[in-house]
């Protein structure tokens, strides 16, 4: 992340007020306790107020009037939910303590490891701006931290239904069911106001971070601090098989495939014919016989996030 200015956040000489949000349902929450995290924050000079959340209503109440550092312990879903409340508030700085499974946002910032060690690394951390994507669509207004997309991944996610909980068996079943009937849709994109040639899109993703979903590295060049989004699409006409894509993702070579194109943009318009979309890890279900446009644009420096020493400024 290099385009925006980096602000040094010196370790407080006296205990400074802070807020700790802890999601007890996150994947790694069993390995940490709120009490241990509070004590670790005390050790680096903060006086945290711990606020437990297990619902969106709880989160709204917890973040309604906060200022200063807000440390969020949880996975990408918890980070997303908190970020939606904190976006556009220059008096708040977000610190992520990853407890989830994928932790795409934290990994983008170079934040990984044991939660107590992560907190320790925040001593003398830097605050850096973090862009978001915001959009208008037939279903309403939306914001994403990682990615917005339609096509194969969105269809599989819709069939899988993350609201039912995580299950590798259900995921495999959803992939098989979608692959049996999926037909790539012809799309004519508009990138930064310029209409593109029509394409049969197997997958279309608007990326703000390098990876989304279960750590799918779809765009290694995506940088949430550069004031841009990255549009990635797969042209179904190239005829590459599913195993080719899986192998390329595992090897980190996805962008080098002949069928894959990636372009940096500030805005994109995507034709909408009722197909399902995903917004980060959430599904916007299909709306048959509904037509319109999904328009996404970068929201520059919507958040201020803490990056540990040695992270990814």
Q: For the domain that residue 59 is a member of, what is the CATH number?
A: 3.40.50.10330
291 vs 273: CA distance, rounded Å:
5
Give just the sign of the alpha carbon dihedral 23, 24, 25, 27.
positive
Q: Are residues 227 and 189 in the same domain?
A: yes
Model confidence over 100-116: pLDDT tens digits?
A: 889 999 999 999 999 99
Q: Are residues 157 and 291 in the same domain?
A: yes
**Which of 5-14, 34-43, 141-150, 176-185 comes out lowest in average pLDDT?**
5-14
Model confidence over 203-234: pLDDT tens digits?
A: 999 999 999 998 999 999 999 999 999 999 99
Identify whether 1 is part of a domain.
Answer: no
Identify whether 37 is part of a domain.
Answer: yes
Tokens at 121, concatenated: 């690394």
166 vs 24: CA distance, rounded Å:
16
18 vs 202: CA distance, rounded Å:
45
Closest CA to 199 of 155, 231, 157: 231
Identify whether 99 is part of a domain.
Answer: yes
> Where in the sequence is the domain holding 47, given as residue range(s)?
7-130+302-307
Task: Tell me the mean pLDDT in the region 196-209.
Answer: 95
Q: Are residues 219 and 80 in the same domain?
A: no
Q: Is this structure's pTM higher than 0.85?
A: yes
Identify whether 163 is part of a domain.
Answer: yes
125 vs 105: CA distance, rounded Å:
17
Identify whether 313 is part of a domain.
Answer: no
Q: Are residues 119 and 152 in the same domain?
A: no
Q: Are residues 143 and 292 in the same domain?
A: yes
Q: Are residues 54 and 151 in the same domain?
A: no
CB 126 within 8 A of CB 313: yes
Tokens at 9, concatenated: 């956040």
Domains: count for the chain: 2
198: DSSP letter: P
Q: Are residues 96 and 143 in the same domain?
A: no
207 vs 216: CA distance, rounded Å:
11
pLDDT at position 127 over 80: yes
Q: Are residues 286 and 160 in the same domain?
A: yes
Identify whether 2 is part of a domain.
Answer: no
Q: Are residues 159 and 297 in the same domain?
A: yes
Place of tokens 């943009």: 265
Closest CA to 267 of 187, 188, 189, 191: 191
Q: Are residues 203 and 221 in the same domain?
A: yes
Identify whether 312 is part of a domain.
Answer: no
107 Cβ contact partners less than 8 Å away, ≥ 6 residues apart: 98, 211, 215
Identify whether 113 is part of a domain.
Answer: yes
Q: Are residues 33 and 159 in the same domain?
A: no
Winning range, highest mean pLDDT, from 3-17, 64-78, 170-184: 64-78
Q: Which residues of 282-298 are buried (b: 16+ CB within 10 A; e: fewer)?
A: ebbeebeeeeeebebbb
Q: Are residues 147 and 97 in the same domain?
A: no
Q: For the domain that residue 228 is a member of, what is the CATH number?
A: 2.60.200.40
85 Cβ contact partners less than 8 Å away, ≥ 6 residues apart: 59, 60, 63, 64
52 vs 214: CA distance, rounded Å:
26
**Which of 96-110, 144-158, 176-190, 217-231 comes out lowest in average pLDDT?**
176-190
């Amino acid at each position: 992340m290099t385009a925006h200015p980096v602000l040094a956040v010196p370790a407080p000489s006296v205990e400074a007020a802070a807020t700790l949000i802890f999601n007890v349902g996150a994947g790694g929450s069993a390995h940490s306790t709120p009490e241990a995290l509070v004590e670790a924050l005390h050790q680096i000079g903060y006086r945290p107020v711990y606020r437990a959340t297990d619902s969106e209503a709880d989160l709204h109440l917890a973040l309604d009037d906060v200022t200063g550092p807000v440390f969020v312990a949880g996975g990408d879903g918890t980070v997303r939910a908190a970020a939606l409340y904190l976006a556009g508030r220059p008096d708040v700085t977000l610190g992520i303590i990853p407890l989830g499974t994928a932790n795409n946002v934290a990994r983008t910032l170079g934040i990984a490891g044991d939660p107590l060690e992560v907190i320790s690394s925040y001593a003398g951390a830097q605050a850096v701006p973090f862009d978001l994507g915001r959009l208008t669509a037939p279903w309403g207004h939306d914001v994403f931290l990682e990615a917005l997309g339609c096509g194969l991944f969105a269809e599989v996610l819709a069939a899988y239904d993350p609201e039912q909980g995580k299950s590798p068996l259900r995921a495999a079943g959803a992939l098989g069911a979608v692959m049996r009937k999926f037909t790539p849709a012809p799309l004519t994109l508009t990138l930064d106001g310029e209409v593109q040639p029509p394409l049969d899109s197997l997958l279309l993703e608007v990326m703000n971070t390098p990876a989304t979903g279960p750590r799918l590295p779809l765009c290694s060049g995506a940088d949430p601090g550069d004031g841009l989004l990255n549009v990635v699409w797969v042209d179904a006409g190239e005829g590459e098989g599913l195993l080719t894509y899986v192998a390329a993702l595992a090897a980190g070579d996805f962008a080098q495939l002949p069928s894959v194109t990636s372009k940096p943009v500030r805005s994109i318009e995507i034709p909408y014919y009722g197909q399902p979309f995903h917004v980060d890890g959430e599904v916007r279900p299909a709306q048959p016989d509904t037509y319109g446009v999904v328009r996404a644009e970068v929201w520059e420096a919507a958040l201020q996030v803490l990056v540990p020493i040695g992270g990814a400024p």
